[in-house]
Amino acid sequence: MKKIRILVAEDFIDARESIVNALKKYELKRYENNESFKIEEAESFIQAKQILTESEKNKEPFDVFFCDLDFTEDEEGGERDSGFELIRLAFKICSITNIYTYSSQFNKPDLYGGHEELVSKGFVIKTFDKSHSEGGDPDWFNKNFAQLFTKLEKERYLNEIWANHELIKEKVRRINFSSDIKTSKFTTYEIIDNLNTILYLMRNRDKLQADKVIYKLIIQLYHRCLESFCLRDKDDSQIMSESEKNKVGLAKSLGKKSDWKLGDKVNALRTIAAHTDKNYSKFGYKVNFYRNNSVHPADDFAVGFCNVLFCNLALAVYANDGSASGISFEEIRSIASKQKNDKGIKDLEELFNYLK
């Protein structure tokens, strides 16, 4: 199992050692070893900021971040509310990092408002009240650690969703989607914003308690990303001619007749089909199929979690020009294997085979 990366930023040594020791004890209890966690410690605001910045540079974000709020003890320029800046930085680097404030000051008048704002925006999951460590309350730690790491294990696939989004973002930033600079930038920003929204919805779907609605929305967002990615600078005549040319290979990969009709006018399917005649074009067709049947429900289609996972991987394949290199899917495959009654598993398994 990949090690769980944890950062503890706390300027008071006793408090820092208390939570680090509690983590190590819990690691031994839960995993029966002390090799499952990789814990890094920051004793000052500056050091924590440097560690976070380095993690972004190395594309190795932390899974868990415990952050003090008041860094006035660090004697290196830390301020009363420096923890807020660190939390915002950690969330900017990776929005699926599980961030917990580790503080006994969070409810003080000068910090309460800022802390509640971060909680309401979803930056902070929960507060680990430092008074429990000062009082030596191992049961409290163990109870909260159990919730934390159960949640983390359940959501490990999100690390790969995030990683694939980062790959897609890196690719689209290099593409000129239009000869008009403003239009090109708008398309880039729209794709990136849609990916950020998707990740937010996936991370919070348990709270929202409306899985089917969320799945449909996510599929539509992925579809919009794919359609924008494929459109580029093509006009309607180019879309019509290139989709007609490419449909022969697409029809063959889908087991359809070569005289298959794509429609008499420019539509999303034609836009996607006009992008490539390579074998992976069938995955774009499937994304379009999911989107159409999500918007206009069909009796033989039930939107499911596997459809969402499929759309993530399909968009990554398109962004990667059909290559499997750099696309993450092992944790995605693991959670998909548990979706026994999801009708989308067959399409997803075909995509897994393509990525092998």
Chain segment 89-120, per-residue pLDDT in tens = 999 999 999 999 988 777 788 888 999 999 98
* pLDDT value for 140: 82
Indicate yes or no: pTM above 0.75: yes
Of 96, 106, 113, the closest CA to residue 155 belongs to 96
Task: Tell me how far apart the terminal alpha carbons of the chain are, to the nearest angstrom.
Answer: 20
Burial class (CB in 10 A: 0-12, 13-18, 19+), 311: buried
Radius of gyration from C-alpha coordinates of the chain? 23
> Angle of helix 82-93 relative to helix 109-120, nearest 10 degrees?
10
Extract the tokens encoding 46. Answer: 């500056």
Cα angle 38, 42, 44; round to 5: 175
Is residue 6 within 8 A of residue 62, CB to CB? The reply is yes
Is residue 274 within 8 A of residue 281, CB to CB? The reply is no
The rounded distance, in Å, linking the Cα atoms of 158 and 292 is 25
The rounded distance, in Å, linking the Cα atoms of 306 and 53 is 34
Is residue 102 within 8 A of residue 131, CB to CB? The reply is no
Which range has the top average pLDDT, 9-18, 104-113, 176-185?
Answer: 176-185
Q: Count how many Cα atoms sit within 13 Å of the Cα of residue 80 in the half-sphere of its side chain.
A: 9
> pLDDT tens-digit profile of 207-218?
777 899 999 999
Is residue 97 within 8 A of residue 65, CB to CB? The reply is yes
Dihedral of the alpha carbons of 335, 340, 346, 350, in degrees to the nearest 10: 30
**pLDDT over threshold 60, residue 171:** yes
The helix/strand/coil state of 177 is: coil
* pLDDT value for 135: 55
- Of residues 151 and 140, more confidence is placed in 151
The rounded distance, in Å, linking the Cα atoms of 128 and 314 is 39
* pLDDT value for 7: 98
Strand-pair partners of 37: 4
What are the residue ranges of helices labelled H in 101-180?
Answer: 109-120, 130-134, 138-154, 157-172
| Per-residue confidence band for 134, with pLDDT thresholds at 50, 70 and 90 | low
Q: Could you say which DSSP state residue 216 is in?
A: H
The rounded distance, in Å, linking the Cα atoms of 293 and 298 is 6
Of 275, 276, 309, 273, the closest CA to residue 290 belongs to 309
**pLDDT over threshold 90, residue 60:** yes
The rounded distance, in Å, linking the Cα atoms of 223 and 303 is 14
How many percent of the chain have pLDDT more than 90?
76
How many percent of the chain have pLDDT more than 70?
98
Question: What structural domains and CATH numbers belong to the chain?
Answer: 4-154 (3.40.50.2300), 157-355 (no CATH)
Q: Could you say which DSSP state residue 136 is in?
A: T
The rounded distance, in Å, linking the Cα atoms of 27 and 351 is 35
* pLDDT value for 237: 97
Please state, in angstroms and as integers, the Cα–Cα distance from residue 260 to each residue in 7, 156, 255, 290, following that order.
55, 41, 10, 19
Q: Which residues contact 46 (CB under 8 A, 6 or more apart)?
A: 74, 76, 77, 78
DSSP per-residue codes, 282-341: HHHHHHHHHHHHHHS--TT----HHHHHHHHHHHHHHHTTT--TT---HHHHHHHTT-TT
Is residue 162 within 8 A of residue 96, CB to CB? The reply is yes
**pLDDT over threshold 80, residue 138:** no
